[in-house]
Structure 1
Amino acid sequence: MKELVSIITPSYNSAKYMEETIQSVLNQKYQNWEWLITDDGSSDDTIEIINKYKDARIKLEILPKNGGAGNARNKSLERAKGRYIAFLDSDDYWLPEYLEAMIHFSQEHNFELVYSNYSRCNEQLEPVIKDFSANKVVTFSTLLKTCTLAPVSTIYDSKRVGIEYFPIKSKREDHVMWLNLLKKIPKAQPLTRTLAKYRMVENSVSRKKTNIMYDQYLVYKDFMNFSTIKSLYYTANWAMNGFLKYSKFFN
Protein backbone atom coordinates (compact mmCIF):
# COMPACT_ATOMS: atom_id res chain seq x y z
CA MET A 1 0.00 0.00 0.00
CA LYS A 2 1.33 3.41 -0.92
CA GLU A 3 2.05 5.75 1.98
CA LEU A 4 -0.01 8.91 2.31
CA VAL A 5 1.75 12.19 1.44
CA SER A 6 0.68 15.43 3.13
CA ILE A 7 1.23 18.42 0.85
CA ILE A 8 1.66 21.68 2.78
CA THR A 9 0.72 24.94 1.04
CA PRO A 10 0.27 28.50 2.32
CA SER A 11 -1.71 30.76 0.00
CA TYR A 12 -2.01 34.52 -0.01
CA ASN A 13 -3.41 36.49 -2.96
CA SER A 14 -2.26 33.69 -5.26
CA ALA A 15 -5.04 33.87 -7.86
CA LYS A 16 -2.61 34.66 -10.68
CA TYR A 17 -0.80 31.32 -10.35
CA MET A 18 -3.09 29.05 -8.34
CA GLU A 19 -4.66 27.23 -11.29
CA GLU A 20 -1.27 26.04 -12.57
CA THR A 21 -0.19 24.93 -9.12
CA ILE A 22 -3.42 22.98 -8.61
CA GLN A 23 -3.10 21.26 -11.97
CA SER A 24 0.46 20.22 -11.17
CA VAL A 25 -0.79 18.39 -8.07
CA LEU A 26 -3.79 16.81 -9.76
CA ASN A 27 -1.49 15.54 -12.53
CA GLN A 28 0.81 13.66 -10.15
CA LYS A 29 1.36 10.00 -11.02
CA TYR A 30 1.48 9.28 -7.29
CA GLN A 31 -2.12 9.84 -6.21
CA ASN A 32 -2.18 8.93 -2.50
CA TRP A 33 -1.98 12.45 -1.14
CA GLU A 34 -3.87 14.99 0.92
CA TRP A 35 -3.39 18.67 0.14
CA LEU A 36 -3.57 20.93 3.16
CA ILE A 37 -3.90 24.50 1.93
CA THR A 38 -4.08 27.29 4.49
CA ASP A 39 -5.18 30.60 3.05
CA ASP A 40 -3.60 33.50 4.90
CA GLY A 41 -6.27 36.17 4.54
CA SER A 42 -6.40 36.54 0.74
CA SER A 43 -8.35 39.48 -0.67
CA ASP A 44 -8.30 38.31 -4.32
CA ASP A 45 -9.95 35.27 -5.95
CA THR A 46 -7.60 32.65 -4.48
CA ILE A 47 -10.25 30.97 -2.32
CA GLU A 48 -12.82 30.90 -5.13
CA ILE A 49 -10.29 29.24 -7.46
CA ILE A 50 -9.43 26.55 -4.91
CA ASN A 51 -13.10 25.86 -4.15
CA LYS A 52 -13.81 25.18 -7.83
CA TYR A 53 -12.01 21.86 -7.46
CA LYS A 54 -14.31 19.30 -5.85
CA ASP A 55 -11.63 16.86 -4.76
CA ALA A 56 -11.95 15.54 -1.21
CA ARG A 57 -8.17 15.37 -0.94
CA ILE A 58 -7.92 19.17 -1.17
CA LYS A 59 -8.52 20.49 2.35
CA LEU A 60 -8.69 24.27 2.63
CA GLU A 61 -8.48 26.21 5.88
CA ILE A 62 -9.12 29.96 5.76
CA LEU A 63 -7.45 32.23 8.30
CA PRO A 64 -9.27 35.48 9.17
CA LYS A 65 -6.16 37.63 8.85
CA ASN A 66 -2.64 37.43 7.46
CA GLY A 67 -0.14 35.86 9.85
CA GLY A 68 2.74 35.01 7.52
CA ALA A 69 3.76 31.95 5.54
CA GLY A 70 5.35 30.19 8.50
CA ASN A 71 2.16 30.38 10.56
CA ALA A 72 0.05 29.23 7.60
CA ARG A 73 2.34 26.25 7.00
CA ASN A 74 2.14 25.34 10.68
CA LYS A 75 -1.66 25.35 10.52
CA SER A 76 -1.44 22.87 7.65
CA LEU A 77 1.13 20.75 9.49
CA GLU A 78 -1.20 20.53 12.49
CA ARG A 79 -3.74 18.81 10.24
CA ALA A 80 -1.29 16.53 8.43
CA LYS A 81 -1.96 12.78 8.56
CA GLY A 82 0.58 11.60 5.98
CA ARG A 83 3.84 9.82 6.59
CA TYR A 84 5.64 11.99 4.06
CA ILE A 85 5.61 15.78 4.28
CA ALA A 86 5.94 17.72 1.02
CA PHE A 87 5.85 21.48 0.50
CA LEU A 88 4.44 23.39 -2.44
CA ASP A 89 4.03 27.16 -2.43
CA SER A 90 1.00 28.51 -4.25
CA ASP A 91 3.03 29.92 -7.15
CA ASP A 92 5.26 26.87 -7.76
CA TYR A 93 4.83 23.76 -9.88
CA TRP A 94 5.62 20.03 -9.80
CA LEU A 95 6.28 17.82 -12.80
CA PRO A 96 3.96 14.76 -12.88
CA GLU A 97 6.75 12.44 -11.70
CA TYR A 98 7.68 14.50 -8.64
CA LEU A 99 5.95 12.65 -5.79
CA GLU A 100 6.43 9.22 -7.33
CA ALA A 101 10.17 9.72 -7.86
CA MET A 102 10.81 11.33 -4.48
CA ILE A 103 8.90 8.74 -2.45
CA HIS A 104 10.50 5.86 -4.35
CA PHE A 105 13.96 7.37 -3.82
CA SER A 106 13.33 7.80 -0.09
CA GLN A 107 11.93 4.30 0.37
CA GLU A 108 14.44 2.47 -1.84
CA HIS A 109 17.43 3.87 0.06
CA ASN A 110 15.78 4.31 3.47
CA PHE A 111 16.42 8.07 3.44
CA GLU A 112 14.69 10.39 5.90
CA LEU A 113 15.07 13.66 3.97
CA VAL A 114 15.46 13.99 0.20
CA TYR A 115 15.64 16.85 -2.27
CA SER A 116 15.78 17.20 -6.06
CA ASN A 117 16.85 19.52 -8.85
CA TYR A 118 14.40 22.24 -9.83
CA SER A 119 14.03 24.68 -12.71
CA ARG A 120 14.42 28.38 -11.94
CA CYS A 121 11.74 30.07 -13.98
CA ASN A 122 10.17 33.41 -14.75
CA GLU A 123 6.51 34.15 -14.04
CA GLN A 124 5.51 32.19 -17.16
CA LEU A 125 7.34 29.09 -15.83
CA GLU A 126 10.00 29.42 -18.52
CA PRO A 127 13.54 28.56 -17.33
CA VAL A 128 15.67 31.69 -17.15
CA ILE A 129 18.86 30.44 -15.51
CA LYS A 130 20.49 27.06 -15.10
CA ASP A 131 18.49 24.51 -13.07
CA PHE A 132 19.37 24.29 -9.41
CA SER A 133 21.32 21.04 -9.06
CA ALA A 134 20.82 18.73 -6.09
CA ASN A 135 24.34 17.41 -6.38
CA LYS A 136 25.54 17.31 -2.77
CA VAL A 137 24.61 15.63 0.48
CA VAL A 138 23.34 18.38 2.78
CA THR A 139 24.29 18.42 6.46
CA PHE A 140 23.64 20.88 9.27
CA SER A 141 27.11 22.40 8.82
CA THR A 142 26.77 22.87 5.05
CA LEU A 143 23.27 24.28 5.41
CA LEU A 144 24.58 26.99 7.70
CA LYS A 145 26.43 28.59 4.78
CA THR A 146 23.69 28.38 2.18
CA CYS A 147 20.05 27.32 2.15
CA THR A 148 20.33 24.46 -0.33
CA LEU A 149 16.92 22.99 0.50
CA ALA A 150 13.84 24.53 -1.12
CA PRO A 151 10.26 23.72 -0.10
CA VAL A 152 9.26 23.00 -3.71
CA SER A 153 11.78 20.16 -4.04
CA THR A 154 12.20 18.64 -0.57
CA ILE A 155 10.31 15.85 1.24
CA TYR A 156 10.82 14.26 4.64
CA ASP A 157 9.58 11.14 6.43
CA SER A 158 7.60 12.29 9.47
CA LYS A 159 7.28 8.74 10.80
CA ARG A 160 11.03 8.73 11.37
CA VAL A 161 11.79 12.36 12.23
CA GLY A 162 8.49 13.74 13.50
CA ILE A 163 6.78 16.94 12.39
CA GLU A 164 9.05 19.98 12.30
CA TYR A 165 7.23 23.31 12.60
CA PHE A 166 8.25 26.72 11.27
CA PRO A 167 9.29 29.57 13.59
CA ILE A 168 6.64 32.26 13.16
CA LYS A 169 8.90 35.07 14.38
CA SER A 170 11.47 34.67 11.60
CA LYS A 171 11.26 35.99 8.06
CA ARG A 172 13.71 33.22 7.14
CA GLU A 173 11.44 30.50 8.50
CA ASP A 174 12.34 27.93 5.82
CA HIS A 175 16.03 28.04 6.62
CA VAL A 176 15.47 27.79 10.38
CA MET A 177 13.11 24.84 9.92
CA TRP A 178 15.59 22.91 7.75
CA LEU A 179 18.40 23.60 10.21
CA ASN A 180 16.30 22.33 13.09
CA LEU A 181 15.42 19.23 11.09
CA LEU A 182 19.08 18.55 10.35
CA LYS A 183 19.88 18.72 14.04
CA LYS A 184 17.82 15.52 14.31
CA ILE A 185 19.18 13.59 11.35
CA PRO A 186 22.64 13.35 9.75
CA LYS A 187 21.89 14.54 6.22
CA ALA A 188 19.57 15.21 3.30
CA GLN A 189 20.15 13.10 0.21
CA PRO A 190 20.08 14.48 -3.37
CA LEU A 191 18.03 13.08 -6.24
CA THR A 192 19.69 14.52 -9.34
CA ARG A 193 16.57 14.88 -11.47
CA THR A 194 14.71 18.07 -12.30
CA LEU A 195 11.22 17.45 -10.94
CA ALA A 196 9.88 20.89 -10.01
CA LYS A 197 9.65 24.49 -11.17
CA TYR A 198 10.38 27.41 -8.87
CA ARG A 199 8.79 30.64 -10.02
CA MET A 200 11.13 33.58 -9.42
CA VAL A 201 8.54 36.33 -9.03
CA GLU A 202 10.25 39.67 -9.50
CA ASN A 203 9.07 41.29 -6.26
CA SER A 204 9.49 38.19 -4.11
CA VAL A 205 10.91 38.91 -0.65
CA SER A 206 13.17 35.87 -0.89
CA ARG A 207 14.88 37.32 -3.98
CA LYS A 208 15.79 40.67 -2.37
CA LYS A 209 18.95 39.50 -0.65
CA THR A 210 20.08 42.94 0.47
CA ASN A 211 16.76 43.52 2.25
CA ILE A 212 16.96 40.38 4.37
CA MET A 213 20.59 40.37 5.49
CA TYR A 214 19.57 41.28 9.02
CA ASP A 215 16.85 38.63 9.05
CA GLN A 216 19.43 36.06 7.98
CA TYR A 217 21.79 37.24 10.70
CA LEU A 218 19.01 36.55 13.21
CA VAL A 219 18.77 32.96 11.95
CA TYR A 220 22.19 32.40 13.49
CA LYS A 221 22.07 34.84 16.39
CA ASP A 222 18.56 34.23 17.74
CA PHE A 223 17.56 30.80 16.47
CA MET A 224 20.91 28.96 16.44
CA ASN A 225 22.18 30.90 19.48
CA PHE A 226 25.55 31.66 17.87
CA SER A 227 27.86 34.46 18.97
CA THR A 228 27.82 37.78 17.14
CA ILE A 229 31.09 37.03 15.31
CA LYS A 230 29.97 33.54 14.33
CA SER A 231 26.60 34.88 13.18
CA LEU A 232 28.26 37.54 11.02
CA TYR A 233 30.57 34.91 9.52
CA TYR A 234 27.71 32.70 8.43
CA THR A 235 25.65 35.65 7.21
CA ALA A 236 28.53 36.67 4.93
CA ASN A 237 28.79 33.11 3.60
CA TRP A 238 25.06 32.97 3.00
CA ALA A 239 25.10 36.29 1.10
CA MET A 240 27.95 35.22 -1.19
CA ASN A 241 26.41 31.83 -1.88
CA GLY A 242 23.05 33.47 -2.55
CA PHE A 243 24.68 35.71 -5.16
CA LEU A 244 26.31 32.71 -6.83
CA LYS A 245 23.05 30.76 -6.71
CA TYR A 246 21.04 33.31 -8.69
CA SER A 247 23.58 35.21 -10.76
CA LYS A 248 23.20 34.59 -14.48
CA PHE A 249 26.88 35.29 -14.88
CA PHE A 250 27.88 32.35 -12.70
CA ASN A 251 25.25 30.01 -14.12
Structure 2
Amino acid sequence: MKVSIITPVYNAERFLRETAESVINQTYQDWEWILVNDCSTDDSWSIMQELADKDNRIKIFSNSENLKSGKTRNFAIKQAIGRYIAFLDADDKWHVDKLAIQIPFMMQNDYYFSHTSYGYLDELGNKIKSTLHVSKEVDYQHLLKRTEISCLTAVYDAEKIGKFYMSEHARKQDYALWLSILKSGVKSYGIDKELAYYRQVKNSATSSKHKLILKHIDFLKDTQGFGTIKAMYYTGYWMINGFIRYFIK
Protein backbone atom coordinates (compact mmCIF):
# COMPACT_ATOMS: atom_id res chain seq x y z
CA MET A 1 0.00 0.00 0.00
CA LYS A 2 1.42 3.37 -1.04
CA VAL A 3 2.45 5.91 1.59
CA SER A 4 2.44 9.62 0.74
CA ILE A 5 5.10 11.43 2.78
CA ILE A 6 4.41 15.13 3.34
CA THR A 7 7.32 17.55 3.78
CA PRO A 8 7.27 21.36 3.79
CA VAL A 9 10.70 22.83 3.04
CA TYR A 10 11.93 26.22 4.20
CA ASN A 11 15.66 26.99 4.35
CA ALA A 12 16.53 23.37 5.12
CA GLU A 13 19.73 22.99 3.10
CA ARG A 14 21.76 21.97 6.17
CA PHE A 15 19.65 18.90 6.88
CA LEU A 16 17.63 18.03 3.77
CA ARG A 17 20.05 15.48 2.29
CA GLU A 18 20.23 13.64 5.62
CA THR A 19 16.44 13.64 5.86
CA ALA A 20 16.25 12.36 2.27
CA GLU A 21 18.63 9.53 3.06
CA SER A 22 16.33 8.36 5.84
CA VAL A 23 13.40 8.25 3.39
CA ILE A 24 15.19 6.70 0.41
CA ASN A 25 16.70 3.97 2.61
CA GLN A 26 13.36 2.86 4.05
CA THR A 27 13.01 -0.91 3.89
CA TYR A 28 9.36 -0.29 2.96
CA GLN A 29 9.65 1.03 -0.58
CA ASP A 30 6.08 1.70 -1.74
CA TRP A 31 6.03 5.44 -1.12
CA GLU A 32 5.90 8.83 -2.76
CA TRP A 33 7.61 11.80 -1.18
CA ILE A 34 5.97 15.18 -1.73
CA LEU A 35 8.22 18.12 -0.93
CA VAL A 36 6.98 21.69 -1.19
CA ASN A 37 9.44 24.58 -1.16
CA ASP A 38 7.96 27.47 0.81
CA CYS A 39 10.04 30.27 -0.76
CA SER A 40 13.37 29.20 0.72
CA THR A 41 16.19 31.72 0.38
CA ASP A 42 18.97 29.13 0.64
CA ASP A 43 19.88 26.20 -1.64
CA SER A 44 16.90 24.00 -0.65
CA TRP A 45 15.23 24.13 -4.07
CA SER A 46 18.39 22.99 -5.87
CA ILE A 47 18.72 20.07 -3.47
CA MET A 48 15.06 19.17 -4.04
CA GLN A 49 15.61 19.18 -7.82
CA GLU A 50 18.66 17.00 -7.39
CA LEU A 51 16.70 14.49 -5.33
CA ALA A 52 13.76 14.41 -7.78
CA ASP A 53 16.12 13.84 -10.71
CA LYS A 54 17.50 10.74 -9.01
CA ASP A 55 14.20 9.15 -7.86
CA ASN A 56 10.86 9.45 -9.64
CA ARG A 57 9.00 8.73 -6.39
CA ILE A 58 10.07 12.18 -5.21
CA LYS A 59 7.68 14.92 -6.31
CA ILE A 60 8.63 18.55 -5.81
CA PHE A 61 6.58 21.75 -5.84
CA SER A 62 7.29 25.38 -5.01
CA ASN A 63 4.99 27.98 -3.49
CA SER A 64 4.75 31.35 -5.24
CA GLU A 65 4.53 33.01 -1.83
CA ASN A 66 5.51 32.03 1.69
CA LEU A 67 2.50 30.15 3.10
CA LYS A 68 4.08 28.72 6.29
CA SER A 69 4.07 25.05 7.23
CA GLY A 70 0.34 24.42 7.73
CA LYS A 71 -0.90 25.64 4.36
CA THR A 72 2.15 24.14 2.66
CA ARG A 73 1.40 20.72 4.15
CA ASN A 74 -2.24 21.08 3.07
CA PHE A 75 -1.15 21.69 -0.53
CA ALA A 76 0.98 18.55 -0.37
CA ILE A 77 -1.87 16.49 1.11
CA LYS A 78 -4.06 17.53 -1.84
CA GLN A 79 -1.43 16.13 -4.24
CA ALA A 80 -1.11 12.85 -2.35
CA ILE A 81 -2.27 9.64 -4.02
CA GLY A 82 -1.22 7.16 -1.32
CA ARG A 83 -3.61 5.34 0.94
CA TYR A 84 -1.55 6.37 3.95
CA ILE A 85 -0.54 9.95 4.75
CA ALA A 86 2.70 10.35 6.71
CA PHE A 87 4.56 13.47 7.80
CA LEU A 88 8.26 14.29 8.01
CA ASP A 89 9.76 17.76 8.37
CA ALA A 90 12.82 18.67 6.33
CA ASP A 91 15.23 18.60 9.28
CA ASP A 92 13.99 15.42 10.97
CA LYS A 93 14.83 11.76 10.29
CA TRP A 94 13.23 8.33 10.28
CA HIS A 95 14.53 4.98 11.42
CA VAL A 96 15.17 2.81 8.36
CA ASP A 97 12.36 0.42 9.38
CA LYS A 98 9.77 3.03 10.38
CA LEU A 99 7.30 2.40 7.55
CA ALA A 100 8.06 -1.33 7.47
CA ILE A 101 6.91 -1.54 11.10
CA GLN A 102 4.15 1.08 11.17
CA ILE A 103 2.22 0.26 7.98
CA PRO A 104 1.81 -3.51 8.68
CA PHE A 105 0.91 -2.59 12.28
CA MET A 106 -1.98 -0.54 10.96
CA MET A 107 -3.05 -2.97 8.26
CA GLN A 108 -2.99 -6.10 10.39
CA ASN A 109 -4.93 -4.47 13.24
CA ASP A 110 -7.29 -2.42 11.07
CA TYR A 111 -6.06 0.80 12.67
CA TYR A 112 -6.74 4.08 10.87
CA PHE A 113 -4.33 6.31 12.79
CA SER A 114 -1.02 5.58 14.51
CA HIS A 115 2.10 7.20 15.96
CA THR A 116 5.41 6.05 17.41
CA SER A 117 7.94 6.89 20.07
CA TYR A 118 10.78 9.15 18.99
CA GLY A 119 14.19 10.47 19.98
CA TYR A 120 15.90 13.83 19.82
CA LEU A 121 18.92 15.06 17.87
CA ASP A 122 20.94 18.24 18.10
CA GLU A 123 21.97 20.23 15.04
CA LEU A 124 25.03 18.01 14.56
CA GLY A 125 22.98 14.82 14.63
CA ASN A 126 23.99 13.78 18.14
CA LYS A 127 21.39 12.07 20.30
CA ILE A 128 20.14 14.26 23.15
CA LYS A 129 17.58 13.74 25.90
CA SER A 130 15.78 10.42 26.25
CA THR A 131 13.19 8.73 24.07
CA LEU A 132 9.67 10.12 24.25
CA HIS A 133 7.62 6.99 24.87
CA VAL A 134 4.03 6.88 23.66
CA SER A 135 0.86 5.26 24.99
CA LYS A 136 -0.73 2.19 23.41
CA GLU A 137 -3.97 4.04 22.71
CA VAL A 138 -4.80 7.74 22.46
CA ASP A 139 -8.24 9.32 22.20
CA TYR A 140 -9.35 12.95 22.07
CA GLN A 141 -9.40 13.54 25.84
CA HIS A 142 -5.99 11.91 26.23
CA LEU A 143 -4.36 14.12 23.60
CA LEU A 144 -5.78 17.28 25.14
CA LYS A 145 -3.88 16.42 28.31
CA ARG A 146 -0.67 15.03 26.78
CA THR A 147 0.54 16.06 23.34
CA GLU A 148 2.40 12.86 22.57
CA ILE A 149 1.64 12.56 18.84
CA SER A 150 4.50 14.19 16.98
CA CYS A 151 4.26 15.19 13.32
CA LEU A 152 7.25 13.07 12.26
CA THR A 153 5.65 9.90 13.66
CA ALA A 154 1.98 10.27 12.66
CA VAL A 155 0.34 8.23 9.88
CA TYR A 156 -3.35 8.13 8.98
CA ASP A 157 -5.35 6.02 6.55
CA ALA A 158 -6.89 8.41 4.01
CA GLU A 159 -8.79 5.58 2.32
CA LYS A 160 -10.67 4.72 5.52
CA ILE A 161 -11.22 8.13 7.12
CA GLY A 162 -10.72 10.52 4.20
CA LYS A 163 -8.15 13.28 3.94
CA PHE A 164 -7.76 15.48 6.99
CA TYR A 165 -6.00 18.84 6.66
CA MET A 166 -4.01 21.17 8.87
CA SER A 167 -5.70 23.97 10.78
CA GLU A 168 -5.49 27.57 9.55
CA HIS A 169 -4.48 28.56 13.08
CA ALA A 170 -1.18 30.44 13.36
CA ARG A 171 0.52 27.71 15.38
CA LYS A 172 0.29 24.02 16.32
CA GLN A 173 -1.48 23.16 13.05
CA ASP A 174 -0.41 19.53 13.32
CA TYR A 175 -1.78 19.22 16.88
CA ALA A 176 -5.09 20.64 15.66
CA LEU A 177 -5.12 18.03 12.89
CA TRP A 178 -4.61 15.14 15.32
CA LEU A 179 -7.38 16.52 17.53
CA SER A 180 -9.71 16.72 14.51
CA ILE A 181 -9.10 13.08 13.65
CA LEU A 182 -9.57 11.93 17.25
CA LYS A 183 -12.66 14.10 17.70
CA SER A 184 -14.23 12.21 14.78
CA GLY A 185 -14.13 9.05 16.93
CA VAL A 186 -10.95 7.54 15.51
CA LYS A 187 -8.25 6.57 18.02
CA SER A 188 -4.51 6.64 17.46
CA TYR A 189 -2.50 3.57 18.37
CA GLY A 190 1.05 3.95 19.58
CA ILE A 191 4.12 1.87 18.73
CA ASP A 192 6.54 2.19 21.62
CA LYS A 193 9.66 1.97 19.50
CA GLU A 194 11.98 4.85 18.67
CA LEU A 195 11.28 5.05 14.94
CA ALA A 196 11.87 8.76 14.30
CA TYR A 197 14.27 11.49 15.37
CA TYR A 198 13.24 15.08 16.03
CA ARG A 199 15.99 17.63 15.50
CA GLN A 200 16.11 20.53 17.94
CA VAL A 201 17.38 23.59 16.13
CA LYS A 202 18.30 26.67 18.14
CA ASN A 203 15.78 29.45 17.78
CA SER A 204 16.46 32.82 19.34
CA ALA A 205 12.80 33.78 18.89
CA THR A 206 11.45 31.14 21.28
CA SER A 207 8.65 32.53 23.42
CA SER A 208 8.82 32.77 27.20
CA LYS A 209 7.05 30.06 29.19
CA HIS A 210 4.42 32.58 30.26
CA LYS A 211 3.64 33.44 26.65
CA LEU A 212 3.55 29.76 25.65
CA ILE A 213 0.93 29.07 28.32
CA LEU A 214 -1.25 31.96 27.15
CA LYS A 215 -0.86 30.88 23.53
CA HIS A 216 -1.90 27.32 24.41
CA ILE A 217 -5.05 28.62 26.10
CA ASP A 218 -5.83 30.73 23.04
CA PHE A 219 -5.15 27.76 20.75
CA LEU A 220 -7.70 25.59 22.56
CA LYS A 221 -10.28 28.37 22.56
CA ASP A 222 -9.77 29.11 18.86
CA THR A 223 -9.53 25.56 17.48
CA GLN A 224 -11.66 23.53 19.93
CA GLY A 225 -14.26 26.13 20.80
CA PHE A 226 -13.47 25.90 24.52
CA GLY A 227 -14.40 28.57 27.02
CA THR A 228 -11.62 30.11 29.11
CA ILE A 229 -12.09 27.82 32.14
CA LYS A 230 -12.10 24.63 30.08
CA ALA A 231 -9.07 25.80 28.08
CA MET A 232 -7.21 26.57 31.34
CA TYR A 233 -8.15 23.14 32.72
CA TYR A 234 -6.56 21.26 29.81
CA THR A 235 -3.64 23.66 29.67
CA GLY A 236 -2.93 22.75 33.28
CA TYR A 237 -2.56 19.10 32.32
CA TRP A 238 -0.43 20.12 29.34
CA MET A 239 1.87 22.10 31.65
CA ILE A 240 2.21 19.28 34.19
CA ASN A 241 2.99 16.66 31.57
CA GLY A 242 5.51 19.00 29.94
CA PHE A 243 7.13 19.64 33.33
CA ILE A 244 7.41 15.91 34.03
CA ARG A 245 8.88 15.29 30.58
CA TYR A 246 11.45 18.08 31.05
CA PHE A 247 12.78 16.84 34.37
CA ILE A 248 12.54 13.07 33.84
CA LYS A 249 15.07 12.36 31.10
Tell me if TM exceeds 0.5. yes
Aligned to 2:183: 183
1:200 aligns with 2:200: yes
The residue identity in structure 2 corresponding to 1:40 is D
Aligned to 1:42: 40
The residue identity in structure 2 corresponding to 1:250 is I
Offset, 1:67? 1.4
Offset, 1:73? 0.3
**1:204–1:108 CA distance, 2 compared to 1 (3 A):** farther
Written as runs of structure 1 = structure 2, the 5 A alignment for 1:83-232 is: 83-203=83-203, 209-232=209-232
Pairwise CA RMSD of aligned residues? 1.7
> Gaps spanning 5+ residues in structure 1: where?
none
TM-score w.r.t. length of structure 2: 0.94
Contact 1:172 1:215 in 2 (8 A): no
TM-score w.r.t. length of structure 1: 0.93
Q: Structure 2: how far apart are the matches of 1:174 and 1:200?
A: 17
**1:94–1:186 CA distance, 2 compared to 1 (3 A):** same
Q: Structure 2: how far apart are the matches of 1:37 and 1:228?
A: 38
The residue identity in structure 2 corresponding to 1:49 is I
Q: Structure 2: how far apart are the matches of 1:217 and 1:124?
A: 34
Q: Percent of aligned positions with the same letter in both sequences?
A: 35
Q: Secondary structure at the match of 1:167?
A: coil
Contact 1:170 1:215 in 2 (8 A): no
Contact 2:31 2:57 in 1 (8 A): yes
Offset, 1:205? 7.0
1:30 aligns with 2:28: yes
Q: Which segment drifts farther, 185-194 or 172-181?
A: 185-194
1:12 aligns with 2:10: yes
Written as runs of structure 1 = structure 2, the 5 A alignment for 1:74-89 is: 74-89=74-89
Map Cα deviations across residues 158-182 of structure 1 (whole Å, 9 max, x no partner): 1111111011233111111100010
1:239 aligns with 2:239: yes
Q: Structure 1: how far apart are the matches of 2:42 and 2:109?
A: 43
Contact 1:6 1:33 in 2 (8 A): yes
**1:216–1:195 CA distance, 2 compared to 1 (3 A):** same
Q: Structure 2: how far apart are the matches of 1:200 and 1:130?
A: 13
Q: Secondary structure at the match of 1:20?
A: helix
Q: Structure 2: how far apart are the matches of 1:7 and 1:218?
A: 30
